[in-house]
């Protein structure tokens, strides 16, 4: 989907001020509320905006340990293992990957012992051949989208 300069400004506001009303966004942007709402609806339909809920901190929820677990899966069982991973609450993300392993999961835990318990649970899943765990020490770049949105907006401006 093509994102233009106005879309970029809308997305920046929504990222910077997520609790602001549509009416206030329209005022800040100097556009009609209907125009803004139509743009937001289009961005949602296109899958650019995928959610509006709060961003939660696993650490504040008592799970400060973060690890990435690579999982090697028996051929033909990727979907089965993927569905089983969805039943493990400590897995906050899982991706099919290329390279060393078949799946990459982001796992949170209360402490190292809890992490070991989660990994042992993963190893016991039917179809899991082996796992490899990497512990995160410190977040260097938090999850972000604004620099990408701004880059796309700049590209749209120069393309005109």
> What is the model's pLDDT at position 150?
87
Residue pair 5/156 in contact (Cβ under 8 Å)? The answer is yes
Report the distance separating Cα 15 and Cα 28, nearest Å: 14
Helix (H) or strand (E) holding 78: helix 78-85
Work out the average pLDDT over 42-64. 94
SS3 content of the chain, % helix, strand, coil (to 5): 40, 20, 40
Per DSSP, the three-state class of 103 is strand
In this predicted model, what pLDDT tens digit does every residue of 98-131 receive, in sequence order?
Answer: 998 999 999 999 999 999 999 999 999 999 999 9
**0.75 exceeded by pTM:** yes
Q: Supply the Cα-derived Rg of the chain in whole angstroms.
A: 20
Residue 97: pLDDT band with limits 50, 70, 90: very high
pLDDT of 27 higher than 90: yes
> What is the model's pLDDT at position 100?
84
């Amino acid at each position: 989907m093509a994102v233009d300069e106005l879309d970029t400004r809308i997305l920046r506001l929504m990222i910077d001020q997520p609790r602001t009303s549509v009416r206030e966004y329209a005022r800040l942007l100097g556009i009609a509320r209907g125009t803004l709402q139509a743009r937001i609806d289009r961005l949602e339909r296109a899958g650019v905006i995928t959610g509006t809920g709060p961003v939660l901190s696993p650490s504040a929820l008592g799970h400060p340990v973060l690890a990435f677990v690579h999982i090697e899966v028996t051929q033909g069982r990727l979907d089965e293992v993927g569905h089983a991973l969805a039943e493990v609450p400590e897995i906050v993300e899982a991706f099919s990957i290329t390279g060393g392993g078949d799946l990459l999961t982001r796992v949170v835990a209360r402490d190292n012992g809890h992490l070991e318990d989660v990994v042992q649970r993963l190893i016991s899943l039917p179809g899991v051949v082996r796992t490899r765990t990497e512990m995160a020490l410190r977040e260097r770049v938090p999850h972000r989208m604004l620099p990408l949105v701004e880059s796309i907006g700049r590209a749209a401006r120069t393309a005109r």
